[in-house]
Amino acid sequence: MKLFKAMATVGGLTGLSRIAGFLRDILTALYLGAGPLADAFFVALKLPNFFRRITGEGAFSVAFVPVYSEALEREGPGKADLFASDAFTIMLGVLGVFTLAALAGMPWIIRLIAPGFIDEPGKFEMAVHLTRITFPYLLLISLSAVIGGMLNARDVFAPFAIAPVIFNLTLVGFLLLSDVLFSSAGIAMAWGVSVAGILQLVWLWSCARRRRLHIRIVRPKLDIHVRKVFRLMGPGLIGAGAMQINLFADMMIASLLPTGAISYLYYADRLNQLPLGIVGIAVGTALLPMLSRAISGGRESEARNLFNRGLEACLLLALPAAAGLAALSDEIIGTLFERGEFGPADTAATAMVLSGYAFGLPGYICAKVLSTACWARQDTAAPVKITILCAVNNIVLSLILIWGFGFGVEGIAIATGVSGWVQVALLWRVLRDTPVARPDTRLSRNAPRIIGASAAMGVLLYALSIPLHGFFEAQTAVRFAALAGFVGLALSVYFGAMIAMKILIPGEIRKFFRKTKPSAPG
């Protein structure tokens, strides 16, 4: 099926990016650990990424891609590319001014998002300095998102999916050169962020030109398409802003906890982002343009099948990933990060945070499909209202768990996990009367089986980890071998169960990966 092939392309390249990202994180833990410099750098890294989720993959993309796809479907490539050029130029002007303003006001921004740093002058000044270096990345990656959205709308998914690989490898290179070219590893990585943004934009621009997508800087016109994007972005900006306020609130709360809390959240989130990125991004990226075109063309049966298969794929991949992360959180964190400046106490704290994140992981991935169904029919208002409710829920629950029940930084992760499932429940309620979003027979049959198999796999892993934990206290090579063994066992058990229950059929899998031979000329 075309959707699954697109998901495989995006997911595979996103997986490659995550491998490069893990290499980056292992080196980051080695060089920075979880101390003051690490906390300062992670604030500098998160700030442009927060805004990017509004202007890049956030409100702009979910408004731009359906409108661009509709223009392709109804008006052809020429008019669609002209509209994209207008959007690109407007993005350049608005974010250029915003970036300059943010650089000038950075001390006040850091005071707002990390108030706990104020009482530690060295940490505060370093956070301001590093964030000024990284913040131009916001402009660069947002421009890249416009080009990436154009490519995705034409079912060309690989170039935009490769862009994060460029980002991670660039940071690895700068980190390895930190002792030679920079005064600290934190400064080296900060410069790596902005240089990576330049390389990503150049890469996507060249890919667009090779595929004859005509995007250029023009005198922008507020035509019907641009106005429609802004109209759809309005609710999206509010929702994305609410989500970023929620993330800022997590950072603010963590900055008030003992040193290391921000770092624990970062390292745990990096593990959580592996399945969330591979599955969530793959499904969302592939599903949005296809679903948008099907709805625009009035093909309801095709749209419903796309929705159900996207949700089924999410359950099939997200549930076992969450079970594995929760069952082996201590072993995974210790194997990947416990060396150099990152000690056993850091492993224990980060593992608890990872377990909290893992609880909500399937919810957030399924919410991607449910939100995409709303965006594809150009309804951005409903997801926004739900995002705001979930953000408030997350903040309030975090405060209650930490200061009401005595939880540490793991209280933030638990609240985040709960909010993911609240989001699913509310989105499902919104879509209950939408024909496209009705579960079909196949999804209704397979979902309970997937849940049962995932739970059984998680229990098995946890039970085996207790007597075999000694392998994860040995040398690094033994730790990695043991972790690989557990992963191999988990995959064998889970996918064996999927085949036994006929959720996965070997013949269909082979057909999916088999290349189609070109037909002979007539």
| Region class of 378: left (phi > 0), else alpha (psi between -120 and 50), else beta | left
Using an 8 Å Cβ cutoff, are 486 and 320 in contact?
Answer: no
| % of the chain residues with pLDDT over 70 | 89
pLDDT, average across residues 111-122: 81
User: How high is the pLDDT of residue 517?
Assistant: 44
Query: If you compute the radius of gyration of the chain from its CA atoms, what whole number of angstroms results?
Result: 23
Does the model's pTM come out above 0.75?
A: no
Rounded Cα distance, 74 and 395, in Å: 43
- Give 311-347 pLDDT, tens digit per residue: 888 898 899 999 999 999 999 999 988 887 788 899 9
Confidence grade of residue 248 (pLDDT, cut at 50, 70, 90): low
Q: Tokens 């959240």 identify what position?
A: 265
* DSSP secondary structure letter of residue 404: I
pLDDT of amino acid 158: 86
3-state secondary structure of 32: coil
| Count of beta carbons in the 10 Å neighbourhood of residue 361 | 28
Higher pLDDT, 6 or 299: 299
> Under 8 Å CB-to-CB from 348, ≥6 apart: which residues?
330
Q: Report the pLDDT value the prediction gives residue 519, as an integer from 0 to 100.
A: 37
Whether residue 118 has pLDDT greater than 90: no
Instruction: Report pLDDT for 512.
Output: 47
State how far the Cα of 503 lies from the Cα of 152, in Å rounded to an integer: 29
Rounded Cα distance between 223 and 50, Å, is: 29
DSSP state of 183: S
CB 213 within 8 A of CB 362: no
242 vs 159: which has the higher pLDDT = 159
498, two tokens: 């999927």
Highest mean pLDDT among 38-42, 375-379, 516-520: 38-42
| Average pLDDT of the segment spanning 208-236 | 79
Tell me how far apart the alpha carbons of residues 100 and 97 are, in angstroms, rounded to a whole number: 5
CA distance 180 to 177: 5
Q: pLDDT of 453-507, one tens digit each?
A: 999 899 999 999 999 988 888 888 899 999 999 999 998 999 888 888 888 777 6
d(CA 390, CA 397): 10
Q: How many CB atoms lie within 10 A of CB 520?
A: 5
pLDDT in tens, 302-313: 888 888 888 888
Average pLDDT over residues 40-68: 76
Q: What angle do CA 474, 479, 480 make, to 5 degrees?
A: 155
What do you get for the CA distance between the two ends of the chain, in Å? 26
Give domain limits for the chain: 36-245
